Chain A
Amino acid sequence: MSLLELDDLTKRFGGLTAVDHVSFTVETGSVVGLIGPNGAGKTTVFNLITGNYQPNEGTVTFDGRQIGGLRTHKIVSMGIARTFQTIRLFQNLSVLENVLAGCHCRMHSGVFGGMFRTPGQKREEQEALSRALAELEFVGLRKYASYLSTNLSYGNQRLLEIARALATQPRLLILDEPAGGMNEQETDLLIQLIRKMKGRGLTVLLIEHDMGLVMQACEKIVVIEYGRKIAEGGPEEIKNDPRVIEAYLGTEEEEV
Chain B
Amino acid sequence: MQRRYIIYGICAVILLTSPLYLNRYWVDVLNSVGIYALLGLSLNLIVGHTGLFNLGHAAFYAVGAYTAAILNTRFDIPILWLLPACAVTAGLFAVIIARPIIHLRGDYLCIVTIGVGEIVRIALINDVFGITGGANGIFGISRPEFFGIRIRRPNEFFYLIWFFVAVTVFLFYRLEQSRFGRALNYLREDEVAAEGSGINTAHYKLAAFVLGAAWAGMVGNIYAAKMTIISPESFSFWESVLMFTLVILGGSGSIPGVLLGAFLIIGLPEVFRGFANARMLIFGAAMVLMMIFRTQGILPPHPRTYPIDDGSDSEEAREPA
Contacts and interface: CB of A to CB of B under 8 A. Distances in A.
A144 B190 CA distance: 21
B317 interface: yes
A128 to B, nearest CB: 8
A142 B311 contact: yes
B320 A104 contact: no
A215 to B, nearest CB: 28
Contacts of A128: 179
Interface of B: 171, 174-175, 177-183, 185-186, 189-190, 192-202, 207, 211, 303-304, 306-308, 310-312, 314, 317, 319-320
B306 to A, nearest CB: 6
A93 B175 contact: no
A31 to B, nearest CB: 21
A52 B191 CA distance: 12
Interface string A99-116: 011101101011101111
Contact of A115 (B171, B200, B317): B171
A71 B201 CA distance: 10
Interface of A: 50, 52, 71-74, 76-77, 81-82, 84, 88-94, 96-97, 100-102, 104-105, 107, 109-111, 113-117, 121, 124-126, 128-130, 133, 137, 142-146, 148, 164-165, 168
Contacts of A72: 195-196
Nearest to B319: A130
Contacts of B310: 145-146
Contact of A126 (B186, B312, B320): B320
B178 A129 contact: no
A124 B179 CA distance: 9
A143 B310 CA distance: 7
A73 B198 contact: yes
The 3 A-B residue pairs with the shortest CB-CB distance, nearest first, are: A114-B178, A105-B198, A76-B198
Nearest to A83: B196
Contact of B197 (A74, A96, A101): A101
A144 B199 CA distance: 24
A133 B318 CA distance: 10
A114 to B, nearest CB: 3
Q: A interface, by DSSP: helix, strand, loop or mixed?
A: helix
Given A130-B320, A143-B311, A121 B178 contact: yes
B311 A144 contact: yes
B196 A76 contact: yes
A90 B306 contact: no
A217 to B, nearest CB: 22
A82 B317 CA distance: 28
B199 A104 contact: yes
B179 A104 contact: yes
Nearest to B180: A114
Nearest to B181: A114
Contact of A109 (B178, B190, B200, B314): B178
Contacts, number: 136
20 contacts: A71-B195, A71-B200, A73-B195, A81-B197, A84-B196, A89-B190, A90-B186, A92-B189, A93-B185, A93-B189, A101-B193, A102-B197, A104-B186, A109-B180, A114-B178, A114-B181, A124-B179, A133-B317, A133-B319, A168-B197
Given A115-B174, A142-B314, A90 B189 contact: yes
Listed residue (A82, A124, A145) with the most chain B CB atoms within 10 angstroms of its CB: A145
A253 to B, nearest CB: 43
Contacts of B190: 88-91
Max count, chain A CB within 10 A of own CB: residue among B174, B181, B193, B199:
B193
Contacts of A116: 174
B307 A129 contact: yes
A164 B193 CA distance: 10
Contacts of B181: 114
Contacts of A93: 185-186, 189, 303
Contact of A164 (B197, B207, B314): B197
A166 to B, nearest CB: 11
Contact of A110 (B180, B196, B317): B180
Given A93-B189, A129-B320, A114 B179 contact: yes
A70 B303 CA distance: 34
A84 B200 CA distance: 18
Given A90-B185, A104-B179, A111-B207, A133 B192 contact: no
Contacts of A50: 196
A97 B182 contact: yes
B306 A129 contact: yes
B65 to A, nearest CB: 23
Nearest to B190: A88
A248 to B, nearest CB: 30
Given A101-B186, A113-B179, 9 more contacts: A73-B199, A73-B200, A90-B186, A110-B179, A117-B174, A129-B306, A145-B308, A145-B311, A164-B197
Contacts of B307: 129
